[in-house]
Chains A and B, each alone.
Chain A
Amino acid sequence: EADIYQTPRYLVIGTGKKITLECSQTMGHDKMYWYQQDPGMELHLIHYSYGVNSTEKGDLSSESTVSRIRTEHFPLTLESARPSHTSQYLCASRAGGGYGYTFGSGTRLTVV
């Protein structure tokens, strides 16, 4: 049973649209992360948060933005989607260093 939820699972949208990918966790984890993953490829960290009102950019430059107003919620927003944003986006949270990440099921985004 997943403790971290991502919606939607699949999304097809037109170029120029604004979208928000939702991520919520019920475990009370302070640390949350967004990864971008192209099919069959490695994961790249695009955003992370250490807690409420904390957000940082990851290793891979991304045109998306994130917010962390509540501990359990870490949404990712694209103001103007482009075909180059087509990818899978994975959200994760973590209790502490030795615990590993808990991942959501991902959102597969296609921009046409």
Chain B
Amino acid sequence: AQSVTQLDSQVPVFEEAPVELRCNYSSSVSVYLFWYVQYPNQGLQLLLKYTSAATLVKGINGFEAEFNKSQTSFHLRKPSVHISDTAEYFCAVSDRDKAAGNKLTFGGGTRVLVKP
């Protein structure tokens, strides 16, 4: 079984400032890692994913995340945020074992509030 901890429930940030959302996971097996964004009254949209190879993953809307196996972390970053980045962000982990169903386990979410 795996678990995900998002260390910050809310992150206020000023427009054009950088932001980092922290995510740590635990798992006894190799994993896939994902970041999703959820805008108000919407479903979740995939921002980026780590599946193998490069540890620095680039996603949509200028976001990137770095996989750190030794620290079991997958922090999300953006160098300059916009008002439109105000949303809820979810980190998620899935084991690589097809027999286990590849179910996603989500973190508790981090609410990003971008201020003008």
Which residues on A are within 8 Å of B, measured CB to CB? Answer: 6, 31, 33, 40-43, 45, 48, 50, 56, 58, 90, 92, 94, 96-106, 108
Instruction: List 15 additional contacts besides A98-B51, A103-B43; criterion CB under 8 Å.
Output: A6-B43, A40-B88, A40-B109, A42-B106, A43-B90, A90-B43, A92-B44, A96-B98, A97-B96, A101-B104, A103-B44, A103-B45, A105-B43, A106-B41, A106-B43
Q: Which of A40, A48, A100 contacts B46 (CB 8 A)?
A: A100
Which residues on B are within 8 Å of A, measured CB to CB? Answer: 32, 34, 36, 41-46, 49, 51-52, 88, 90, 94-96, 98, 101-104, 106-109, 111
- Give the distance in Å from the alpha carbon of A94 to the alpha carbon of B32 in the complex: 13
A77 CB to nearest B CB, Å: 20
B7 CB to nearest A CB, Å: 14
Residue of A at shortest CB range from B51? A98
Number of CB contacts from chain A to chain B under 8 A: 64
Closest 9 CB pairs of A and B: A103-B43, A98-B51, A97-B102, A103-B44, A42-B108, A43-B106, A105-B43, A100-B46, A106-B43
B87 CB to nearest A CB, Å: 12
Residue of B at shortest CB range from A106? B43
Residue of B at shortest CB range from A42? B108
Q: Are A42 and B109 in contact (CB under 8 A)?
A: yes
* Contact A48:B101 (CB < 8 A) given known A97-B32, A97-B94: yes
B30 CB to nearest A CB, Å: 10
A45 CB to nearest B CB, Å: 6
- Give the distance in Å from the alpha carbon of A94 to the alpha carbon of B44 in the complex: 13
A48 CB to nearest B CB, Å: 7
